[in-house]
Amino acid sequence: MSAARNAHGSKHQTEMRLRGVAGEAVRDILSGTTHALLCTVALMAIMVAAAGAELFQLRSIGDRIDDYVSSGASTYVVEYPGRIDARSCESLADAPGVHAAGAIRTADSRISFAVLPSTSLPLLEATPGAVQVLASVNGRSTRALTKSESNGIWLSGQAAETLGLTSGQTARLTDDTPATIAGVYPFPEDGRSSNAAYAVVQPVPRDGVFDECLVKTWPVPDSIESLALLSVGTVSDDKDDRPTVRQLNTRLGDRLDSSALFASRATAWMPLVAGGAALALGFAAVWIRRLELASALHCGVPKPALVLQIMMETVSWTFAATMLCLPLPLAVMHLWEGTAPQQIVDLMMRPMLAAALGGLAGATVAVLCVRERNLFAYFKRRI
């Protein structure tokens, strides 16, 4: 019975002590002793600056990738007139890193429109995958074609501008045959080497042999040349008659190592920087109260209780700063125009969480460094 009463009494004393610690922490926060508002604002500044810097760097890397892919630098062309197997070429779209692939060939005849009968344009026959590559060759993303885009002819941007035609119109050929303009594909003169720059493209079934295989990729597979050559049907015995693999546009170089760009970005160490800055903030927020804390220890407050009190106070402003900064990553999640917004938000949250933990760590280190025996020294050096 005596042991049970002692255990119950010890539990009651612990509860009373915890309530006392919590009450003291609340009083310090409400009275301004903790400087919670100032610390919240300072920690928010650290979090926003760190997350914003990371976002800026990631956006910069994304823009470089967009420029590279949009220029056609990651689109490869296999040239082997009359020996590209259409089905093998289109099957490359199932390979990792390949967004679309299709075969294309130059028709024997040219095509003329009634609006400009004196000018004939090259006619290219393309499989559905090749039309998809051309339709998205000026952008990073690749979309599937609609039913209406698969029925009719496609014009290059230059050809459409010359003829004054737009997508969805029905034009007349010189023999009075109607032709539906299924779409207009962009093909600027920025270093791209192809006969599709000024041409009419006619979608055809994925059967037979063609002249070229277009392969749009990202990230570019390491074995892109070997992969692209799988589109070749039969190879001639003539050593001078071999298929060639080239980039559609070499202006931006033969490779862009996005992994290296990401690893070498200036903000790679941002979590440590943000955590260090917040650690200094947390330490300073507690250390300026060292006289008060040493006095509490001198009055008999146990060190564990004092540490717990300071942790409660610090959690109040680190939690507040974190909650107030959450709209930033949430906004990025909904407004990010690039791919994988979840990964962007994850990278932004790392320095923010590091800052929150740094603040807690700094405050803990500071209170542990306070010594009762230094009370007189703290008093002499008080501000």
Tens digit of pLDDT for each residue in 135-194?
998 888 888 888 888 889 999 999 999 999 999 999 999 988 999 999 999 998 888 888
**Residue 321 and residue 40 in contact, taking contact as beta carbons nearer than 8 Å:** yes
Residues 200 and 306 in one domain: no
In a domain, 8, yes or no: no
Q: How is residue 33 written in tokens?
A: 């002793």
Mean pLDDT, range 343-347, rounded to an integer: 90
Residues 227 and 110 in one domain: yes
Residues 200 and 328 in one domain: no
Rounded Cα gap, residues 54 and 40, in angstroms: 21
Domain boundary among 217, 251, 285: 251
Residues 179 and 202 in one domain: yes
Exposure string for 329-367, b = 16+ CB within 10 A, e = fewer: beebeeebebeeeeebbebbbbbbebbbbbbbbbbbebb
Residues 212 and 138 in one domain: yes
The pLDDT score that the predictor gives to residue 229 is 93
Domain that holds residue 313: 18-66+261-380
In a domain, 48, yes or no: yes
The separation between the first and the last C-alpha atoms of the chain, rounded to the nearest angstrom, is 55
Residues 62 and 80 in one domain: no
In a domain, 4, yes or no: no
Rounded Cα gap, residues 354 and 301, in angstroms: 31
The number of folded domains in the chain is 2
In a domain, 44, yes or no: yes
Find the largest Cα–Cα distance for the chain.
113
Higher-pLDDT residue of 237, 206: 206
Domain boundary among 199, 231, 251: 251
Rounded Cα gap, residues 242 and 234, in angstroms: 10
Write the burial class of residue 33 (CB in 10 Å: 0-12 exposed, 13-18 middle, 19+ buried).
Answer: middle
The pLDDT score that the predictor gives to residue 18 is 64
Strands 178-185 vs 153-156: parallel, antiparallel or unpaired? parallel
In a domain, 278, yes or no: yes
Residues 88 and 160 in one domain: yes
Residues 371 and 232 in one domain: no
With a pLDDT cut of 70, the percent of the chain lying above it is 93
pTM for this model (two decimals): 0.80
pLDDT tens digit string along 221-263?
Answer: 989 999 999 999 887 777 778 899 999 999 998 899 888 999 9
Task: Annotate 35-70 with DSSP letters as a single string.
Answer: -HHHHHHHHHHHHHHHHHHHHHHHHHHHHHHHHHHH
In a domain, 183, yes or no: yes
Residues 276 and 186 in one domain: no
Domain boundary among 198, 229, 251: 251
Residues 349 and 372 in one domain: yes
The pLDDT score that the predictor gives to residue 251 is 92
Is residue 133's pLDDT more than 50?
A: yes
In a domain, 154, yes or no: yes
Q: What phi, psi does 137 have (nearest 5°)?
A: -65, -20
pLDDT tens digit string along 267-315?
Answer: 999 999 999 999 999 999 999 988 888 888 888 888 888 899 999 999 9
Q: How is residue 270 written in tokens?
A: 């941002």
In a domain, 6, yes or no: no
Amino acid at 162: T
Rounded Cα gap, residues 101 and 207, in angstroms: 14
Residues 80 and 218 in one domain: yes
**Alpha-carbon torsion angle 22, 24, 30, 36, nearest 10:** -80
Residues 238 and 160 in one domain: yes
Task: Annotate 3-32 with DSSP letters as a single string.
Answer: HHHHHHHHHHHHHHHHHHHHHHHHHHHHHT
Mean of pLDDT over the chain: 88
